[in-house]
Each structure stands twice: as structure tokens, then as C-alpha cells.
Amino acid sequence: MPTIITTEQVWNEIEKHFFAVLGMLTAKGEARTAGVVYVVRDRQIYIGTSKEAWKVRHVQQNPHVSVTVTIPKRIPFLPFLPIPPATITFQGQATVQQGDEIDREILDSLFKGMEIDDQFVADSCLIRIEPSGDFITYGVGVSMKTMRNPEKAHGRVSVS
């Protein structure tokens, strides 16, 4: 029996973290992934990147993407024991927003500690992802012991 999890629980987990794996297709239909740093605003995922990044070209050619958020797991007092991360996976539609369309607060949040001048903004863009369908979870809202049983450790809930 899968884990009973709510949409709110999943969004709360996504908002607590900042690293995900973005899945996309090349123009030739070849699968590619990239590790990305993200922020969440109004249930949209924002990824900052250079206008010249290959992921921008792939998203512009095919805006249907997948995202997997990894959630590190640790055993208190035994941090050296390897534990697989919990995950939240979903699909969505991505759009590329150019520098002059970017909300400054989102830029500041994505590029903390970096100097964000006019040239940086001109060279940057955001990939905005609107999640759709369902969240597929593994190990979210369950104990680490329960994570050992795939039937009990996975969950599924609508993104909205």
C-alpha cells in the first residue's frame, strides 16, 4: 500500500530544498539531465542559468521536462552510513525568461552572494517550470525503515 501524502506536504518539501535534476530532450530526441539549483515562487520552479547554456536550447526546442528533487537522508549519530535520498519527481512545461523579464527578487534568491549587475542580468535567463500531473514520491513522509519497502515508501498525489 503506497504512502498517503498530500499535495501540501510535497510542496513544503520542495520549498525546503534547492537542488534538483532537470530532465529534457535534445532536438535529436536524446535524453539529457542536468543538476540545477532552484527556488519556488507561487508553485512554479525557477532555475537561473546563462543564456548560452545547452539546457536553455533544449528547453526552447522541447518545453516538456521532468524534475527530480533529491532529499538527503541521514541517521543521527551515524552520518557515515549511506542512506539513499528520498525523491520527488514530476513533469511540467518549461519556458525561458530573458533578463529583462526576470523578477529581481528571484534573481537575488537564486544567485545569493554573487554580484548581479546589468551585464550579469543581460547574460542570464531563467527557466520557469510549471509542474503538471502528479508528484511521484519515494521516502517522503515515511521513516527510513519504511523506505526499505518500495510498496510502502512510494506515494502519488496531484501537483495542484
Tracing cell 539513499 back to the chain, one arrives at 84
Instruction: Tell me the CATH class for 7-158.
Output: mainly beta
What pLDDT score was predicted for residue 33? Answer: 98
For the chain, which residues make up each domain, given as ranges? 7-158
Residue 16 CB partners (closer than 8 Å, separation 6+): none
Residue 118 has pLDDT above 90, yes or no: no
Please tell me the distance from the alpha carbon of residue 142 to that of residue 83, in angstroms, as a whole number. Answer: 14
What's the pLDDT tens digit per position in 17-62? 999 999 999 989 999 999 999 999 999 999 999 999 999 999 999 9
Q: What percentage of the chain reaches a pLDDT higher than 90? A: 70
* Three-state secondary structure string covering 4-57: CCCHHHHHHHHHHCCEEEEEEECCCCCEEEEEEEEEEECCEEEEEEECCCHHHH
The pTM of the full predicted model, rounded to 2 decimals, is 0.92
SS percent in the chain: helix, strand, coil, step 5: 25, 40, 35
Please say whether the beta carbons of 89 and 136 come within 8 A.
yes
